Structures are given as structure tokens and as C-alpha cells.
Amino acid sequence: MALSDPEGILASPLTIINRRDENLDIQAITDIINQKQVGQIVVGLPHSMDGSLGGQAEKVKEFTKKLCSHTEVPVDYRDERLTTVLAKRLRRAAGSKKTRKKVRHDAMAAALILQGYLDEGRRG
């Protein structure tokens, strides 16, 4: 997960929610939404390289539908193609060699997805 600053200019990695149980996962997300006073949810939707939506995207949409039944915060989707690859490259370029790389890559990828959304909103 990632959050932006209050002005919606800069996205930063927040945390990783390791999937355990769907209800617990939704509770963890809604707790963060409430604690951080989130006004918009941006969900990374995995598109195939040709732009189509596959089975994983359908799973994300189904989970998001269930999440929406627990919050009134609006949800928007954003294409997440290659964000993990970009996150790994950025970490390598920054010289970061810390442990738990996958967790860190996922959090950074979430921030990249959110940053793209924020940037798009400023242009639009």
C-alpha cells in the first residue's frame, strides 16, 4: 500500500498487507482507510502486455468489489503493468540492497501506481 501527502502531490510506500484471510485483509485495509482518512482508493489492475485483462485482473476486481462493500471511499483502477519491474530498477539504481526485497518492491510499486494516478490528475 501507498499513501500520498495531503496535497496529493507525492506518493510514498506505506506498508504491505500479506494476504491471509480475505476478511482480515479487508479489515486491515479499512482500518488504514479510516486511520489515515483516505479520500480515494487507487487499485492497481494487472493488464496483460497486450492491454487485455486476464484471470488475475478479475480476482483483483472481485476483491475490490468486496472491499467497496465495507467503505464508501471511491475506487479507481490504474494499469499496473511493469510497476514491479520499474520498482526493482529504481531500487538497484539507488543502490539499495536491503533484505525483504519482494516486500520493498511491492510497496514501491504501489507508490509508483499512486504517483502515476496523482500525476495524471494534475495534467487532466
Report the distance separating Cα 68 and Cα 85, nearest Å. Answer: 29
Reported as a single tens digit per residue, the pLDDT across 83-96 is: 666 666 666 666 65
Is 3.30.420.140 the CATH classification of the domain at 2-123?
Answer: yes
Residue boundaries of the structural domains of the chain: 2-123
Q: pLDDT tens digits for 23-80?
A: 999 999 999 999 999 999 999 998 877 878 888 899 999 999 999 999 999 999 998 8
CA dihedral 56, 57, 61, 66 (to 10 degrees): 20
* Sequential DSSP letters for the chain: -EEE-TTS--EEE------S-HHHHHHHHHHHHHHTT---EEEEE-B-TTS-B-HHHHHHHHHHHHHHTT--S-EEEEE-TTHHHHHHHHHHHTT---S-HHHHHHHHHHHHHHHHHHHHHHH-
Q: Is the pLDDT of residue 12 over 70?
A: yes
